[in-house]
Structure 1
Amino acid sequence: MRLLTGLLLALCATLCQAATLTVDTGHGTRTFTTEQLLARPDARDIAVPDDVSYHRSMTYRAVPMKALLDGVAAAAHLQFTALDGFTAEIPASLILDAHGAEAWLAVEPTGKPWPALGDGKPSAGPFYLVWLHPEAGHVGTEQWPYQVAAVRMLADPASRFPAMRPAPGLAANDPVMRGFAVFQRNCITCHTLNGQGDAKLGPDLNIPHSPTEYLRDDMLRTLVRNPQDLRHWPQAKMPGFDRRTLSDADLDDLVAYLKHMATRKAKP
């Protein structure tokens, strides 16, 4: 009995250890523990009225995200990496000056986990980027990364992943170019394209085949709007994108980009 009790206590101690967040702003890497973040003088309780992940009002102890980004210029680009391989690509300007939208890093207290995100799923902790007044900065649902483990400053995706870029010479307002922007904002978090990208959750969207090559346009739109309406799979992880998150015009542009890239497959 004592042995069992000792093992349980040891297990609890292991599970209850403070989590660590790594932040690399290009001027050296810093680490922050749960306790360090919660003890900061700028930490406060915030109420998030329409939490993207929990789909209800939530209250968190959080610190302003921009306070952890010393030395980062508004023109820089940030990547938030989650424990499950999800990567959110967020322009630094959206955090540093989003015209009223406020980015906060919610911190899950040690030993007091937030609710699970669903049956058999963990919570959004240990760190979760949440927003107040997200509509002011046109913040998308994919820009609320949870289970964050690291934040680092990188070049933007178009620079890092040249095989994702459309053919040169297209006008900035061409539907394909607009669709590329939609892809970077909503799809690159889970998918690679032409074998390039940092995400590890979803399949590549161009090789060996683009979804535009095996799905009718209406079926592809159904997949994006609500994947479960196309194929019912209880373990599916892909979220649906409603019209508030992804307008019909944005979806049209995304389809145009994917069709264009189907003609620009990377060679093995």
Structure 2
Amino acid sequence: MIFRRAFASAFALALAILMLACGFAMAATLAINVGGERSLTTEQLLARPDAAIIRVPNDVTFHRTMTYRAVPLRALLGITEMPAGKELQVSATDGFVTHFSAKLLFGDGRKRAEPWLAIESPDEPWPQVPGTGDIGPFYVVWIDPAASGVSSEQWPFKVDAFHIAPTLAARFPQIAVDKSVPANSLVRRGKTVFATQCIVCHKLNGAGDASVGPDLNRPHNPTDYFQPWALKAYIRDPKSIRAWPDMKMPGFDRKAISDSDLDALIAYLGYMAKRKK
């Protein structure tokens, strides 16, 4: 009797593990909607003839050189240009949403950054990221990112979908700067920084697709309760100001946001603090 119970328990555990593994495989599906809806599994992506082993120096997430099995993103999407007034929206299972402009994705010169979709094989899982854990199964990485000015927030992981959407400016007039603001103003530059680095996690005046962090203007803007030095320190290293076990915001060093861009971002936030729409 004891043996039978032990055997039954072991069998149940093995079955549960098998079901969990099957569930993981089923969940590893990528949705692509760029003129026709497709869903591709990990196995289908790894079996593509253009899948290759690539080496990524200075990987943004792991902060070291990484090697991945990946497919070229442009070939995967199957398009050579973006419709006018549109951009590629990339969403992740953790609520992160970033956007690739036509210029970023396709370039306007001979030399350009090359985007790849890295694919995590169930047999060779990627390392865990401190504070984040598993980043698979799909991760957009770049070869020669400096050639196109790729930002740190344009390396999305836990990716689950690509689709074409109207530009942020067209969809979310709430984040716009008034026409009276000079073209060379820090505020305008800060709006560009916000649209690249911040809206991937935060909304502003309810505008944005992401749901990782809170709205940065409603009910209160960070400039309402942070002194300038404290807000800069918080963006550079959140834990230097406040910390809690489940905090998600990473720090942005000078490679991610330069000192001048940080000043511009804070100028934009201060400007928007008076425009809680």
Which structure: larger Rg? 2
| TM-score normalised according to structure 2 size | 0.90
d(CA) in 2 for partners of 1:255, 1:118: 28
Following superposition, the deviation at residue 80 of structure 1 comes to 0.8
Identity score, percent: 48
d(CA) in 1 for partners of 2:16, 2:254: 50
Partner of residue 47 from structure 1, selected from 52, 55, 71: 55
Partner of residue 83 from structure 1, selected from 93, 110, 123: 93
Matches within 5 A, 1:49-198: 49-71=57-79, 73-74=81-82, 76-97=86-107, 99-118=111-130, 121-198=132-209
Q: Which runs of 5+ in 2 are unaligned?
A: 1-6
d(CA) in 1 for partners of 2:105, 2:63: 22
Q: Is the 8 A contact 2:201 2:212 kept in 1?
A: yes
- Cα deviation digits, residues 71-94 of structure 1 (max 9, x gap): 352564111100010111221321
Following superposition, the deviation at residue 42 of structure 1 comes to 1.1
The yes-or-no answer on 1:10 pairing with 2:19 is: yes
Instruction: Give the SS at the match of 2:257.
Output: coil
Q: Which runs of 5+ in 1 are unaligned?
A: none
Q: Say if 1:261 and 1:72 are closer, same or farther in 2 by CA, change over 3 A.
A: farther
d(CA) in 2 for partners of 1:60, 1:35: 15
The yes-or-no answer on 1:22 pairing with 2:31 is: yes
Instruction: Give the SS at the match of 1:254.
Output: helix
Question: Which structure 1 residue ranges, 4+ long, deviate > 4 Å from structure 2?
Answer: none
d(CA) in 2 for partners of 1:255, 1:24: 35
Q: Is the 8 A contact 1:17 1:110 kept in 2?
A: no
RMSD of the alignment, in Å?
1.7
Cross-structure match for 2:211: 200
Q: Is the 8 A contact 1:191 1:202 kept in 2?
A: yes
More helix, by proportion: 2
Cross-structure match for 1:37: 45
Instruction: Give the SS at the match of 1:224.
Output: helix
| TM-score normalised according to structure 1 size | 0.92
